[in-house]
């Protein structure tokens, strides 16, 4: 893709900032609503609806500065896409779930629905910045407006929302976006090569892909856990839902990959030579060499 493959986001109604977690404005919803099991990612078991043992009375994490060292690496790679503060401050207007235990379950359920909506907003917003996907921009804008409208529903209406159907409808548009963008990537970078596609959910756990040319590749939902992608070229690759836990991305070029999120990057191994999309931040735990 050329340097001008994205246009200005100024005209889009959803800001990137509103789709990023603001823990200071949330009542620790992810620390309560979500379950986790003792594993390499979490030091203990926790059921859904049960507060994490590290959650303090002020809804802050008591071990936030040492999560990885204390065995809570999974917390460092989770992103609610701003759903936490939306539910806390907008949907429930600052109501504390601890003070209204009868409403706690609904608040947690609404949070899980809102997170899905905000995740869709993230992908739709990015899709609208991809110049190669202009043929479907009108449909993408309508889907963005509809999804945003859903986030303004009251709790009861959100509970009635058929989120699975809406996700499926949006995914159809995102698939069309993927085809346009990956075709464009191949035309510009390697017009004579057939596109490599692994299919959704490809098992690439531990795969040896160092120096691999993966431009324009479909890696949707791929399991890339502990894969070696050092110096791989992933420009124009669709990375939606790809599992990057402990994936070695040192020296890899993801600068023009798309549908990549911050929590995917946070789960990976990288360094100062890893090239990221401008919308993402280099994780603090990555090496500098």
255-284 residue pLDDT tens: 999 999 999 999 999 999 999 999 899 998
Q: Which of 211, 240, 207, 241 is nearest to 226 (CA)?
A: 207
Give the pLDDT mean for 92-104.
Answer: 86
For residues 145 and 121, the answer to whether their CB atoms sit within 8 Å is: no
**What integer pLDDT is reported at residue 7 of this predicted model?**
34
Residue 144, domain member (yes or no): no
* pLDDT band per the 50, 70, 90 thresholds, residue 6: very low
Q: What is the pLDDT of residue 4?
A: 36
Query: Cα–Cα distance between 258 and 235 in angstroms, integer?
Result: 8
Confirm whether 9 is domain-assigned.
no
- Structural domain contains residue 159: no
Q: Report if residue 174 sits inside a domain.
A: no
CATH code: domain of residue 202: 2.160.20.80
Q: Which residues is 213 bridged to in the sheet?
A: 233
Contact assessment for residue 249 and residue 269, using Cβ atoms and an 8 Å cutoff:
yes
Of 47, 127, 119, 51, residue with least CA distance to 79: 119
Confidence of residue 8 (pLDDT cuts 50, 70, 90): very low
Cα distances (Å, whole numbers) of residue 136 to 15, 108, 178, 253: 21, 34, 11, 27
* H or E segment to which residue 153 belongs: none
Kindly indicate the confidence band of residue 17, based on its pLDDT and cuts at 50, 70 and 90.
confident
Please name the residue that has the structure tokens 């404005």. Answer: 25
> 119 lies in a domain?
no
Contact 221, 88 (CB under 8 A): no
How do residues 20-51 score in pLDDT, each as one tens digit? Answer: 888 889 999 999 999 999 888 898 999 999 99
Assigned domain for 286 exists: yes
DSSP 176-222: HHHHHHHHHHHHHH-TTSPPPB--TT-B-TT-B-TT-B-TT-B-TT-
The CA radius of gyration of the chain, in Å to the nearest whole number, is 19
- Tell me the HSE value of 9 on the side-chain side, using a 13 A CA sphere: 16
What is the distance of C-alpha 134 from the center of its chain?
23
pLDDT tens readout for residues 129-181: 999 999 999 999 999 999 999 999 999 999 999 999 999 999 999 999 999 99
Position 257 in a domain: yes
Could you tell me the pTM of the whole model? 0.88
Give alpha helix (H) positions in the chain: 30-33, 73-76, 83-85, 104-127, 137-151, 155-160, 163-189, 262-266
> 219 lies in which domain range?
195-289
Report which of 222, 235, 236, 199 is spatially closest to residue 268, judged by C-alpha positions: 222
Q: Is residue 111 helix, strand or coil?
A: helix
Query: In this structure, is residue 183 part of a structural domain?
Result: no
Let me know: does 21 contact 81? Beta carbons within 8 Å: yes
Q: State how many domains the chain has.
A: 1
**Phi, psi of 264, deg, nearest 5:** -65, -45
């Amino acid at each position: 893709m050329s340097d001008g493959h994205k246009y200005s986001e100024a005209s889009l109604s959803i800001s990137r900032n509103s789709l990023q977690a603001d823990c200071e404005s949330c009542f620790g919803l992810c620390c309560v609503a979500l379950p986790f099991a003792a594993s390499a990612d979490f030091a203990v078991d926790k059921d859904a609806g049960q507060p994490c043992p590290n959650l303090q009375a002020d809804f802050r994490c008591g071990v936030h500065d040492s999560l990885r060292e204390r065995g809570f690496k999974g917390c460092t790679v989770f992103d609610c896409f701003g759903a936490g503060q939306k539910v806390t401050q907008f949907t429930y207007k600052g109501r504390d779930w601890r003070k209204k235990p009868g409403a706690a379950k609904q608040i947690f359920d609404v949070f899980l629905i809102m997170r899905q909506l905000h995740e869709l907003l993230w992908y739709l917003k990015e899709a609208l910045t991809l110049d190669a996907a202009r043929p479907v921009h009108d449909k993408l804008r309508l889907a963005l407006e509809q999804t945003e409208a859903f986030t303004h529903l009251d709790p009861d209406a959100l509970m009635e929302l058929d989120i699975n159907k809406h996700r499926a409808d949006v995914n159809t548009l995102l698939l069309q976006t993927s085809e346009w963008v990956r075709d464009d990537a191949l035309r510009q970078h390697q017009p004579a090569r057939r596109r490599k596609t692994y299919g959704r959910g490809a098992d690439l756990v531990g795969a040896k892909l160092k120096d691999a040319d993966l431009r324009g590749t479909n890696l949707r939902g791929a399991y890339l856990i502990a894969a070696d992608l050092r110096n791989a070229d992933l420009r124009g690759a669709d990375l939606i839902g790809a599992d990057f836990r402990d994936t070695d991305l040192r020296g890899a070029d993801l600068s023009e990959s798309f549908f990549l999120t911050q929590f995917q990057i946070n789960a990976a191994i990288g360094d100062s030579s890893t090239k990221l999309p401008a919308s993402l931040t280099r994780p603090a735990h990555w090496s500098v060499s």
